[in-house]
C-alpha cells in the first residue's frame, strides 16, 4: 500500500486543489477504501461552495464512492474483507444506538456523518469509512456505472417504492436530469405508466427512450391539467428544487395520490389544505436509503439492465467536471475515476438498450 495518496480538497469555497496526503490507518469500526470511482452529485455544490475555510485539513467532497477495501480497523464485522468491492453513499454509517437505529430506520440515524460534508468523501484515491456505511457492489457493475447508483439510483428507487402506486398506475416524474433519468428507468421497470415532465422539448426523445410513455413539456402545456385529463397521477416524484414547479403539480394528483419530494429547496411549497383534504392527497419527503436498501437498488439495476448515463473524467480534472455538472453540460451524471485510461469514457447505454420503448410501444 502506498504511503501517500492523491485527493481533491476544498482549499477555499468553490475551489478544488489536487494534493497529496498521508495514507491513514482505520480506527475501530472503520475500513480504508482504495477508491476507483466517485460520482459528482448536485448536492456536492453545497459542500464545495459553502466549505469552511478554517477547517484543517480542508474537506474532500464526494459521496458516490466505489472501490475496494484496503485495510480493516478493529471490530469490523467478518462479512467485510480485504479486497472486497464496496461502495459508500451520502450517509456515512449509522450508530446502531439511537432510537431511530433501534427501530431499524438506519437512514434516519441522527449520529452518522454526512459523507463529503462532515467527513471526507471520495474525490480521492483513498478514504476512511465506518463499516456500517458499506454497500456491497455486484460483480456485474463496473465502478464508474455503480457510483451514481449510490445516490441518484437509491434515492429514486426508494422514493418510487414508497410512492403508493401499483403496476399500471400513472406515475409522473418531474425533471429529466441526474435524478430524473434514473427515476424514469426504475418507474418503467416497476410497471407504472410513466409520465416525464420537463421544460424543454429537446429532452423528449431522451425521456421516451429512458422509459417514459408520455412527455409533457411545461413550456407548451399545463402539466397538472394534462395529468388530470389522464385520470390523475397516483404518484408524482419531484427531482428538482423549484418550489413553484413542484407546487403547481399538486392539482395533477388523483384522489389518494401522493407527491413524493426528492429535490431540495429552501423555498416553501405552496399547498392549500383543500388540495390535501379533498381527495385525501398527501405530500411526503424521501431521503436516500440504508446500505441494505442500496444493495436492493443495485440488485434491481443488475436484474433489469438499468444503468446511469454518464461521462467520466480523471480525478485531476475534478474542477472541470464539477463546473460542467453545475452548468448542466452533462448527460446526465459525471463520474471521476482514479484510472487515467478511463478519462474519455462515456455511457449512453440506457438510451441504446432501451430505445425500443420509444420505437415499439
pLDDT, position 202: 83
Residues 109, 113, 117: CA angle, nearest 5 degrees? 135
- pLDDT tens digit string along 154-182? 999 999 999 999 999 999 999 999 999 99
DSSP string, 185-222: HHHHHTT-EEEEEES-GGGHHHHHHHT-SEEEETTTS-
Q: 24 with 128: CB under 8 angstroms?
A: yes
Mean pLDDT of 13-35: 97
Alpha-carbon span 169 to 152, nearest angstrom? 23
Per-residue pLDDT at 361 exceeds 50 = no
Selected residue with higher pLDDT from 121 and 330: 121
Tell me what pLDDT residue 349 has: 52
Mean pLDDT taken over the chain: 92
Cβ-based neighbour number of residue 73 at 10 Å: 16
Task: Read off the C-alpha cell for 242.
Answer: 423549484
Please report the pLDDT score of residue 347 as a whole number: 60
Kindly tell me if the per-residue pLDDT of 359 is higher than 50.
Answer: no
Sign of CA dihedral 102, 129, 53, 147: negative
User: How far apart (Å, rounded) are the C-alpha atoms in residues 266 and 44?
Assistant: 16
In the chain the domains, ranked by start, together with CATH numbers, are 4-148+308-348 (3.90.180.10), 153-285 (3.40.50.720)
The pLDDT of residue 329 is 86
Q: What are phi and psi of 214, to 5 degrees?
A: -135, 140
The cell numbers describing 248, all together, are: 403547481
Q: Please give the share of the chain, as a percent, with pLDDT higher than 90.
A: 87
Query: Is the confidence at residue 355, as pLDDT, over 60?
Result: no
The predicted-structure confidence for 300-346, as pLDDT tens digits, reads as follows 999 999 999 999 999 999 999 999 999 888 889 999 999 744 444 45
Task: Return the residue matching grid coordinates 429512458.
Answer: 210
| CB 33, CB 86: distance < 8 Å | yes
What is the pLDDT confidence band of residue 200, given thresholds at 50, 70 and 90? confident
pLDDT in tens, 269-300: 999 999 999 999 999 999 999 999 999 999 99
Amino acid at each position: 500500500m502506498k504511503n501517500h495518496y492523491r485527493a481533491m480538497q476544498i482549499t477555499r469555497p468553490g475551489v478544488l486543489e489536487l494534493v497529496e496526503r498521508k495514507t491513514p490507518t482505520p480506527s475501530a469500526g472503520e475500513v480504508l477504501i482504495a477508491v476507483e470511482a466517485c460520482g459528482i452529485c448536485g448536492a456536492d455544490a453545497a459542500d464545495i461552495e459553502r466549505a469552511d475555510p478554517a477547517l484543517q485539513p480542508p474537506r474532500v467532497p464526494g459521496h458516490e464512492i466505489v472501490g475496494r477495501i484496503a485495510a480493516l480497523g478493529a471490530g469490523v464485522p467478518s462479512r467485510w474483507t480485504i479486497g472486497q468491492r464496496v461502495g459508500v453513499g451520502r450517509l456515512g454509517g449509522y450508530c446502531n444506538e439511537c432510537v431511530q437505529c433501534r427501530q431499524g430506520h438506519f437512514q434516519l440515524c441522527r449520529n452518522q456523518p454526512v459523507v463529503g460534508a462532515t467527513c471526507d468523501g471520495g474525490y480521492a484515491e483513498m478514504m476512511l469509512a465506518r463499516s456500517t456505511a458499506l454497500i456491497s457492489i455486484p460483480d456485474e457493475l463496473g465502478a464508474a456505472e455503480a457510483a451514481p447508483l449510490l445516490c441518484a439510483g437509491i434515492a429514486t428507487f426508494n422514493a418510487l417504492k414508497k410512492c403508493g402506486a401499483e403496476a399500471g398506475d400513472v406515475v409522473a416524474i418531474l425533471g429529466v436530469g441526474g435524478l430524473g433519468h434514473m427515476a424514469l428507468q426504475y418507474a418503467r421497470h416497476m410497471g407504472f405508466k410513466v409520465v416525464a415532465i420537463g421544460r424543454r422539448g429537446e429532452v423528449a426523445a431522451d425521456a421516451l427512450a429512458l422509459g417514459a410513455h408520455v412527455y409533457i413539456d411545461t413550456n407548451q402545456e399545463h402539466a397538472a391539467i394534462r395529468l388530470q385529463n389522464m385520470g390523475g397521477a397516483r404518484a408524482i416524484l419531484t427531482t428538482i428544487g423549484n418550489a413553484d414547479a413542484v407546487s403547481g403539480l399538486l392539482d395533477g394528483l388523483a384522489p389518494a395520490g401522493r407527491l413524493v419530494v426528492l429535490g431540495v429547496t429552501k423555498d416553501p411549497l405552496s399547498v392549500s389544505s383543500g388540495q390535501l383534504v379533498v381527495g385525501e392527497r398527501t405530500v411526503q419527503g424521501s431521503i436516500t436509503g440504508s446500505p441494505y436498501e442500496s444493495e436492493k437498488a443495485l440488485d434491481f439495476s443488475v436484474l433489469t439492465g438499468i444503468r446511469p448515463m454518464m461521462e467520466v473524467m480523471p480525478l485531476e480534472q475534478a474542477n472541470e467536471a464539477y463546473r460542467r455538472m453545475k452548468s448542466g453540460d452533462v448527460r446526465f451524471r459525471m463520474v471521476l475515476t482514479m484510472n487515467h485510461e478511463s478519462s474519455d469514457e462515456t455511457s449512453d447505454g440506457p438510451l441504446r438498450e432501451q430505445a425500443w420503448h420509444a420505437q415499439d410501444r
